[in-house]
Amino acid sequence: MNFEQFEYIAAIARTGSITIAAEQLHVSQAGISKSLSKLEQELGMTLFKRSRLGTVPTDRGKIIIEKVFEILARMEEIRELSMVQSSLTEGEVRFSVGPNFMAVLSKAIIAFKRDYPNVKLEITSKSSEEVIQDLKEDRTDLGLIYLDNHRPEDIKDLQMKTLHVSRMVVCAGRRSSLAMHKSVTPQELLSQPFVNIDGVFSNWFLNDFMDKHGQVNTLFKSNNIELLMRTIAEGAAVGLFIEYAVMNNPFVVSGDIVTIPLVGHEPSTISLGWARLAIKHFSIAQKEFLNYLIREYNSFE
């Protein structure tokens, strides 16, 4: 047995697929299958069950695979111990994030790259559901996601922690009839024209809102935040947003849009947090990048 075989086993266990594991490791499917068969023969046991539905560990294989992950993690730690100074730390951080988390990212990224110039950052913008899938299939190392409204089976392999809890607020133009309200109820919103972010979470929240309180008059949906906020600022519509996501928006900062707490509807708050694959080694570079993000989010408390 050798280190390369351990990497193959870990990739197959993470992805549940020899094909996907081969793609991620940039080796042929035949090569990874041959290496796995050779190792199973050497161990005298079957590590994975193969079927049309995927590749899953056998009961005895789970024990071996757990030890393999421990060995790979120790090897990474040994490598990183030789680069303890931040200026010498190398590696890669693949980071996935939704558009509502972008408010503090630029500061954290600039500060991190200043202190860790040799770490490569790869940043993609995706929905929380896409981030979770990428984590499970090892296409990203760290993600910022909504922590609410996920099925237990979808997140069972992830380590997650809350970074920030934000209110849901109504955004209205300063000349809107709602602008002077200290809070807004669902019934007060039903007569208002609506615009909404065209995203998985935003669509779920609006549909949940309408299921509980009745239909709203939706003018349009868009993933263009500037278009939505400009429409609201001009008094043509109102919208439901996560307070954190809009607190630094130019229209809100200038006073052209006011944010009003939504009351009488649950959930009234949304948890935002980080997630990673629990069984995967968490490198020094990835830990430090997360620390920079945490510090930025803590500044909003």
**Element at 76 (helix H, strand E):** helix 59-81
The answer to whether the beta carbons of residues 105 and 75 sit under 8 Å apart is no
Burial of 124 (0-12, 13-18, 19+ CB in 10 A): middle
- How confident is the model over 190-207, as pLDDT tens digits? 989 999 998 888 888 999
Instruction: Identify the pLDDT of residue 87.
Output: 47
Cα separation of 240 and 235, whole Å? 14
- How confident is the model over 140-172, as pLDDT tens digits? 999 999 888 788 888 988 999 998 888 999 999
The domains located in the chain, with CATH, are 3-81 (1.10.10.10), 91-163+272-298 (3.40.190.10), 165-270 (3.40.190.290)
* CB half-sphere exposure, 205, CA atoms < 13 A: 26
CA angle (81 as vertex; 75, 86 as ends), nearest 5: 130
Of 91 and 158, more confident:
158
| Torsion sign, CA atoms 138, 141, 143, 148 | positive
Cα separation of 7 and 88, whole Å? 25
The answer to whether the beta carbons of residues 126 and 198 sit under 8 Å apart is no
Cβ-Cβ contacts under 8 Å for 142 (sequence gap 6 or more): 93, 94, 95, 96, 274, 275, 276, 286, 289, 290
CA 129 to chain CA centroid, nearest Å: 8
Instruction: Identify the pLDDT of residue 265.
Output: 95
Helix (H, G, I), strand (E, B) or coil at 65: helix
Cα separation of 109 and 288, whole Å? 11
- How confident is the model over 16-50, as pLDDT tens digits? 888 888 888 888 989 898 989 888 888 898 999 88
